[in-house]
Structure formats: C-alpha cells, structure tokens
Chain A
Amino acid sequence: MEPGLVDLSRLQFALTALYHFLFVPLTLGMSFMLVIMEAVYVMTDRPIWREVTRFWGKLFGINFVLGVATGLTMEFQFGTNWSYFSHYVGDIFGAPLAIEGLMAFFLEATMVGVMFFAWDRLSKVAHLVVTFLVALGSNLSALWILVANGWMQNPVGAEFNPDTMRMEVTDFVAVLLNPIAQAKFVHTVSAGYVVASVFVLGVSAFYLLRGRFTAVASRSMTVAAAFGLAASLSVVVLGDESGYALTDNQKMKLAAIEAAWHTEPAPAGITLFGLPDFETRTTRYAVELPWLLGLIATRSLDGQVAGMSELVLKAQERITSGVLAYDAVERLKKAPADAAARVQFEQHKRDLGYALLLKRTLEDPRRATQQQIAAAAWDTVPDVPLMFWSFRLMAFIGFAMIALFATAFVLCSLRRHTTARWFLKCAVFALPLPWIAVELGWIVAEMGRQPWAIDGVLPTFLAPSSLSRTQLWITLFGFTALYGGLAVIEVRLMLAAIRSGPHAADHDAPAPNGAPAHPLAV
C-alpha cells in the first residue's frame, strides 16, 4: 500500500460522512415534525395547519435531496475505498446495509415523491399516512445504518474463518440486538429530532422577531418546543446509556474521553476541565467532580472505571496471544488440514485482530520483539485531547439544548413565546449549535474507535483499497468541489425560501409567462 494512502482514505470518508450527516439529522426529525403538523391539520381541519405543513415540507425537501445525494457516496464508499474491510467483514456488515435498502430507504424514497406531488390526488388521511411512511422509512433507515455502525464498535456474533480469510456471522440475532447499536440508534435519532426542533424553533423565532408570518411561526414554535424538549432530554439520558454500555465494550474510548490515564479507586470522579498530555500521560489543571463518572459508567459506588495504562497492559497480552493465532492462520493457509494449527487457532482466534496491529511496522507479526509489542499496545489509545474536548463541547451543547427547550416549553405554555424577545434572539442564535454537536458526536464515536476499523478485529490501516494517492487526490478534490458547490446552493435556496416565507409555498412554480412567482428569490 502506498504511504499516506490510509490517511487520505480516512480523510475522504470523514469528509463525506460528516457532510452527509449535515442533512440526515434534519431529515430524521423534520419528517416526524411534518407528521405532527399534518396530523393536527387532519384532526382540526384548519387550513393554517396545512400551510404550516406545506411550508416546512418545502424546507424539508431542499434539505432532503442533499441527504439522498450524499448517501449514494456512502453506500458505495466501503467498496471503492475500503475494499479489504468489505471483504473482511462483508458477511456481517453488508446485511444491515442491504436490509436498510429493502425495508427502509425504498419506502422513504418512494413515498417522498408521493408526499410532495400528491396533495391533490389523495385524501387527507391517505396523505398523512404517506407523510408518516416517509418518517418511518427515514428513521428505520437510521436503525439499520446504526446496526452496521454498532457492529464496528462492538463486533458480536461473528468469528474469523481461516478458509475464507474473513469474519463470518455466527449469531445474527446478536448482531441485531447489539446493545451498542440500540443505544446508538436512540441517541442518534433523538439528536436528529433536536436538530429539527432547533431549526423550526430558530426560523419561527426569526419570523416572530420580524413580525412576519406570525400565525405560522407561533404554531410551529409550539410544536418545536414540545418535540424538542422530549428529544433533548432523550439525547442526554440515552447518551448516558451509551456511556454505560461503553464500560463493557469500549472501555478505552471512555478512558480517552475522560482522559483517565490510570484506573482510579471507585467511584471515579469526572473531569470537567483540564489539559490532557499524551507525552507525560497526565491531565494538567484538571478540575474534577468526585464520584460522578463511576456512578454514570458503572451504575454503582464500587465499580471501577478502567484507565488507559491498565487497558494498554491488557492489549499487550492480547497482542501476544494474537500472534499465536496469526501463526496458526499462516500455517492453515499452506495446509488447511493441519490439525495442530487448527487447535492453536481455536485457542487464540479472539485475539487475531490484536496481532494485526503489529503490521503497521512489521511485515510478519511473528517476528515482533517485546518492545514492538509494547509500542503497538499503546496504539490502541485514540487521540486523547480530541476525544476529551469533542465530548465536552458536545455534552455542553446537549445541556444547553435542554435549557433552551425547557424555556421554550414554559413560554409556549404561558402563551408568552411570541413576545419574549430575549428568548427569540436566543433561539435564532442557537441555530448552528445542534449541527456542531452532531458532528462532534460522529467524531467522538468514530475517532474514539481508532485504531480499529472493527473494534479488536481489523485495524484501520489494513482496511483501505490498494489505490494510488493520485486516485485519492482526484476524488478528494472532486468531492470537495462538488459538495462545496452544492452546499453554497443549498444554503442560498434555504435562505431564499425562509425569506419568502409560508405564503410562497403554494406558488413554487413560475407563472406561465415565465415571470418569477416570488420576486424575493435570491
């Protein structure tokens, strides 16, 4: 493999995934908010709610297409850029992606066209059902993607087969009911609901501040306040839930997030602030709250939270054992019937991935010295300062969102939400925050998984396709230019649609003589 190829492949995946994830959370949440708004319309039969639904539906549509367009890249990127990964775990990892298509995305994509085009071709209830199916499809889609992602974080129900040189499924139900996947699903879709709620809240606040479209804005805000409060509580509570699961499966990620260099006596404290330093393996200027981490992570006063140094020692043992598995696989390659090698493989197979960590510097892990094994063991620690800060900023925004929606909910209940200007300003300024939080969430989850592509199974540096750097530079440049251009266009259309407001929603198309229907368009 060419030097630098791994980093370029990772950069491209990160850019395309983070970009895709600018649009997806809004789709996840807005689709359900549209269901709520349209349900109110169907139940009350008041035209204003139809206007509300159609207006937000229009903004939903502008966002939706980019989610779909950039999702195309994601579906194929494992094959184009991570072909060894695809071969190595395709037997397990491919299934949730295929089921996502069969069960979820087909439904969402088929119904979204009907939702936009068939307002006058369907009964009110039938149209509401279609809108609901769009929401159901998009959220089920997230479920299957997160089953796949959850398996990368916690690869249950599979083992390596030396005859095919890949991981193969042993227990599909375990893959499906993977606790990490479930926690991730709830946390991620809730985050999507928060994004959508902040979007609706912020845009409505903007209208109320300007005194425009107040009928639509005031009603939209009440929906956003209630939906957002529930969602923001759910994100934080169920984010905690995934922290809890970390203790079994991803102790290292938790230790890095907390900059816990050593195992502390239980119950461990939580570090609010500090400067983690990898060289000295200490956190300077640490401000700690006692007990809290132990309580959150182990749900007990006496459970220990493992520190990085101790986890590295454990990794060292697993590398040593993994080298024996690697040796057995090499012997089985030459003689598949070698019974002694088969026995040795069975004994050490769960550590095979750890031996592969040595391949970063060594062609043959069997030649590794103790020092090389010790050095490779420290490779299992992700980027500590990045984890530490990304997590803190994300969590801070999470709590700020709860405060925002609690305020919104109280003001809406008191019917003061249209006049409290300080609050309306806060709501407008809050607009970018949830996007920052979801992108940081991706960074915590996926950078925290490093150095593994599949936790404990396949190191990231072995996973890419054997491409040339030139090829990577071409596509990196191409995607950046294409995505950059589309981002500019999207934001401008979104702003134009917001500026022209709800009443233009029904006059999207130009008049027959070609004159613009709404002169405010950009």
Chain B
Amino acid sequence: MSFFDTETLRFIWWALLGVLLVAFAMTDGYDLGVGALLPFVARTDNERRMVINTIGANWEGHQVWFILGGGAIFAAWPLVYAVSFSGFYLAMFVVLAALILRPVGFKYRSKRADPAWRARWDWALFVGGFVPALVFGVAVGNVLLGVPFRFDTDLRVFYVGSFFGLFSPFALLCGLLSVAMLVMHGSGWLAMKVEPGVVHRRARLSGRVAALASLVLFIAGGAWVAWGDIGYRIVGAVDHAGPSNPLRTTVEAASGAWLANYAAAPLTLLAPVAGMAGVLLALLGNIARRERLAFAGSAVAVAGIVATVGVSMFPFILPSSADANSSLTLWNASSTGHTLGIMLAVTVVFLPLILLYTAWALRVMRGRVTQHDLTVNPDLY
C-alpha cells in the first residue's frame, strides 16, 4: 500500500475513473443504445423480442459499471461524489427513474402476451436507454463548462444553479453526441447479434446515420471548446500531495484552456484522434458489412471520446463556474493516500476477474439470436 506516494495514487485513481467510465460506455453503452433503438429498428413483437434478447442475458452485469462508478467515485473522490450528485439533483433523479425502468422492463415485458402491456414496456425500455444516454452527455457538457457551486469553510457545498440551467446549447450538443455515439455502438452490436433480415438492415442504417452524427457533433464540440468561452486553469503552484481541501487552490476561468494539454503534451492528441478514427472505422465496417470491425470501431470511438473529455480537463475533475476557487481537481478532492492505496489493491485483484468472467458470460451467450430461437427456447424473454 505504501507502494506509491499520494501524488501517484491520485493520478492512478484519475486514470481508473477514466477506465470505469470507458468500460461503462463500451459495455452498458451498447445496451443503452439498443434500448434507445428498440421501438424503431423493431416493429413487431417478434422483432422486438429478437432485439431484447441480444442483450437480455448480459446487460445486467454491464450496468454494474455504472453502480461501481458511483461507489468508486465515493471511495476515491468523495468530494466529487458529494458535489456532482447533489448539484445535478433532479437530473440524477431523472436518470435513476429511467434506469429503474430498465431491469423491470426486460424482466416483466415477457411475463404477459398482451400487446398493450408489451408496448408499454417497450417504451419504458426506450426511456431507460435514451434518457440516461442524453443526460450523461448533458452532465459531461456541464462539467466542461463548469458547474455553479461553492463551499463554505466547513466544506459544505452549495449549488446555486437550476435544473433547466443544465440544458445550455453546448451541454445539449454534448448530450446529442452521447446519444449518437451510444446509438452507433448499439447498432453495431445489433448488426453482429441478430440474424440477417429486416432488423439487421435497419440496425445497419441507424449505425451509419449515428456514426455520421457522432463525427459531426464531436468535431463541432471540439470547435466550441477551442473558440467558445470555455476552460479553467490553476494559478500558481499546487502541492500535488497536499491535503484534500479545495479551498486552498487558486483557479481562474480561461478561454481555450481545455486545449492547453494538447499543446503541452502532443501525445494526448491520441485521445481525440482515436475518437474520430473509431467513428470512421465503424462507418467503414458498416458499409463493408464487416460487423465485428464496425463494432470494434465504435468501441474505440467511445473510448476515445470519453478519454478526450478527461485529457482536456486534466487536472480538473469538476470546475466551479460560481466560484472558480472551489473547483475540484486531482490534487484537492481525493480520499487519503491510505484509502486510495487499499482501494487500488482491491481493484488490482478484482478488476481482472471481472473482465474475465464478463468475457466468459458473453462467450456463453455467443451467436446470433434467430426467429427460430424465439420459438423453441423457453428461457428467452
């Protein structure tokens, strides 16, 4: 545990936060995308059952990346956990309500054959996919812009913004990018997992549209970050191993500061490049009917786009627009080195295991879902 000093541990946990978010977006991201696509790529009950069963057995495990994200942020970045979820209070409620519909929708839809019953759950599954995808993107947009909060001397946080204030044009653009990206990823999954036919054709079409939209929105977002009035920077020296007290940092808003890291360390350009290259790969794979290639492309795109946000803001995690000096950074918002060390040890043991059995579970459920399966397999939804 005393393997690393506090500064290194903070950096590792910043990177691990990225790993968690990328893993969530890569796995549950396609489940959300499939949910958002459900009413559109599948019209009849059999088509919808086919779509649902491509993710039916594995989405629940994937969702734990989100839950673990909550727990890990709590453990490693308690101030980030406290400020972000209380600040985005009603938005968070909307996300939770939508996500609560998802497990229920998957399980209960098949319990009755009544078409009205099933149609209602189909829309619940749509909401459970589309709404979180949108709100997550909007939240990230707001984080890039800075969130209106300040601390008092007890480090009690006060949020001074409103719910509708979250939906600024830039934040909405980020929300749409998030939806486009996850729909692209979900389309790629469907194209791999359903048998050739009408659903497959629609999934490929939505994949192409979503990939183009992702590309345009990602570039537009980048331009906005470059030329819009966005960004923060730390003024003066910072003790990277100092106590986690955000009131001891001086921060100022600075237009274009989110691009400073790319100039300082050009290798970081890999993140946005991977974002764009991944989208192009997804598009090419889609057109060339190379489904695995297209899905790998969208996975790279998702990772690149999420990483771009993290790299652009480094070392900020949650800047404050109301009081820049209250901003949360890598160096002032973490748990103690002691806790970070213990959590790292636990993660080093269990993360590989999780990856291993997730891969095994996906392998058990390998192969395309066919109309035939739906009629003979009683275990399918």
- Binary A-proximity of B156-179 (CB < 8 A = 1, otherwise 0): 111100000000000000000000
Stretch from A45-53, A396-404, A466-474 contacting the other chain: A466-474
B97–A478 CB distance below 8 A: yes
> Can you list 17 A-B pairs with a CB-CB distance of less than 8 A?
A69-B99, A69-B104, A72-B96, A78-B81, A99-B75, A102-B351, A110-B64, A120-B377, A121-B364, A122-B364, A165-B155, A168-B339, A172-B342, A474-B90, A475-B90, A489-B104, A509-B380
Decide yes or no whether A410 CB sits under 8 A from chain B.
Answer: no
Residue of A121, A474, A493, A514 near B108 (CB, 8 A) is A493
Q: Determine the residue in chain B with the shortest Cβ distance to A519.
A: B113
Residue of A79, A107, A493, A515 near B111 (CB, 8 A) is A493
Give B359-378 interface residues, CB cut-off 8 Å to A: 361, 364-365, 374-375, 377-378
B93–A514 CB distance below 8 A: no
Residues of A within 8 A of B365 (CB): 113-114, 117-118, 121
Give B325-381 interface residues, CB cut-off 8 Å to A: 335-336, 338-339, 342-343, 346-347, 350-351, 354, 357-358, 361, 364-365, 374-375, 377-381
- Binary A-proximity of B97-123 (CB < 8 A = 1, otherwise 0): 101111110111011111100000000
Residue of B63, B79, B89, B157 near A471 (CB, 8 A) is B89
Given contacts A164-B243, A465-B89, A93 and B67 within 8 Å (CB-CB):
no
Decide yes or no whether B60 CB sits under 8 A from chain A.
Answer: yes
Q: Determine the residue in chain B with the shortest Cβ distance to A510.
A: B113
Decide yes or no whether A407 CB sits under 8 A from chain B.
Answer: no
B78–A87 CB distance below 8 A: yes
B67–A75 CB distance below 8 A: yes
Q: Determine the residue in chain B with the shortest Cβ distance to A112.
A: B60
Residues of A within 8 A of B244 (CB): 164, 166
Residue of B112, B343, B379 near A117 (CB, 8 A) is B379
Write the nearest CB–CB distance from B316 to chain A, whole angstroms: 18
Write the nearest CB–CB distance from A156 to chain B, whole angstroms: 15
Interface centre among B63, B74, B114 (most CB of A within 10 A): B74
Given contacts A165-B245, A466-B156, A467-B89, A114 and B361 within 8 Å (CB-CB):
yes
Residue of A99, A168, A474 near B336 (CB, 8 A) is A168
Decide yes or no whether B68 CB sits under 8 A from chain A.
Answer: yes
The docked-state distance in angstroms from the alpha carbon of A101 to that of B84 is 20
Residues of A within 8 A of B (CB-CB), count: 87
- Binary A-proximity of B74-96 (CB < 8 A = 1, otherwise 0): 11101101111110011011001
A515–B113 CB distance below 8 A: yes
A86–B378 CB distance below 8 A: no
Chain B interface residue bracket vs A: 35 or more
The docked-state distance in angstroms from the alpha carbon of A409 to that of B281 is 64
Residues of B within 8 A of A515 (CB): 113
The docked-state distance in angstroms from the alpha carbon of A87 to that of B358 is 32
The docked-state distance in angstroms from the alpha carbon of A97 to that of B114 is 40
Give A101-143 interface residues, CB cut-off 8 Å to B: 101-103, 105-107, 109-114, 116-122
Residues of B within 8 A of A466 (CB): 86, 156-159
Write the nearest CB–CB distance from B296 to chain A, whole angstroms: 22
Give B296-329 interface residues, CB cut-off 8 Å to A: none
Known contacts A95-B75, A95-B335, A103-B346; can you find 11 more A-B pairs with CB under 8 A?
Answer: A69-B99, A79-B86, A79-B92, A91-B335, A93-B74, A107-B357, A110-B354, A117-B56, A169-B339, A506-B378, A516-B114
Residues of A within 8 A of B153 (CB): 165, 333
A102–B350 CB distance below 8 A: yes
The docked-state distance in angstroms from the alpha carbon of A3 to that of B302 is 44
A81–B338 CB distance below 8 A: no
B338–A169 CB distance below 8 A: yes
At the interface, is chain B mostly helix, strand, loop or mixed?
helix
Residues of B within 8 A of A479 (CB): 97
A97–B75 CB distance below 8 A: yes
Write the nearest CB–CB distance from B223 to chain A, whole angstroms: 33
B104–A117 CB distance below 8 A: no
A94–B64 CB distance below 8 A: no
A98–B155 CB distance below 8 A: no
Write the nearest CB–CB distance from A128 to chain B, whole angstroms: 15
Interface centre among A91, A493, A496 (most CB of B within 10 A): A91
The docked-state distance in angstroms from the alpha carbon of A497 to that of B361 is 28
- Binary B-proximity of A379-406 (CB < 8 A = 1, otherwise 0): 0000000000000000000000000000
A79–B45 CB distance below 8 A: no
Residue of B85, B157, B361 near A110 (CB, 8 A) is B361
Decide yes or no whether B261 CB sits under 8 A from chain A.
Answer: no
Q: Determine the residue in chain A with the shortest Cβ distance to B68.
A: A101
Given contacts A90-B75, A101-B67, A117-B379, A83 and B83 within 8 Å (CB-CB):
yes
Residue of B100, B108, B338 near A70 (CB, 8 A) is B100
Give A483-508 interface residues, CB cut-off 8 Å to B: 486, 489, 493, 496-497, 506-508
B63–A98 CB distance below 8 A: no
The docked-state distance in angstroms from the alpha carbon of A447 to that of B378 is 46
A95–B358 CB distance below 8 A: no
Residues of B within 8 A of A111 (CB): 61, 357, 361
Given contacts A76-B92, A80-B93, A87-B157, A101 and B375 within 8 Å (CB-CB):
no
The docked-state distance in angstroms from the alpha carbon of A482 to that of B78 is 29
Interface centre among B75, B115, B346 (most CB of A within 10 A): B75
The docked-state distance in angstroms from the alpha carbon of A73 to that of B85 is 12
The docked-state distance in angstroms from the alpha carbon of A429 to that of B321 is 59
A521–B71 CB distance below 8 A: no
B74–A79 CB distance below 8 A: yes
The docked-state distance in angstroms from the alpha carbon of A91 to that of B365 is 39
Residue of B67, B75, B83, B104 near A94 (CB, 8 A) is B75
The docked-state distance in angstroms from the alpha carbon of A510 to that of B48 is 13
Given contacts A65-B103, A102-B346, A92 and B56 within 8 Å (CB-CB):
no
Decide yes or no whether A279 CB sits under 8 A from chain B.
Answer: no
Decide yes or no whether B270 CB sits under 8 A from chain A.
Answer: no
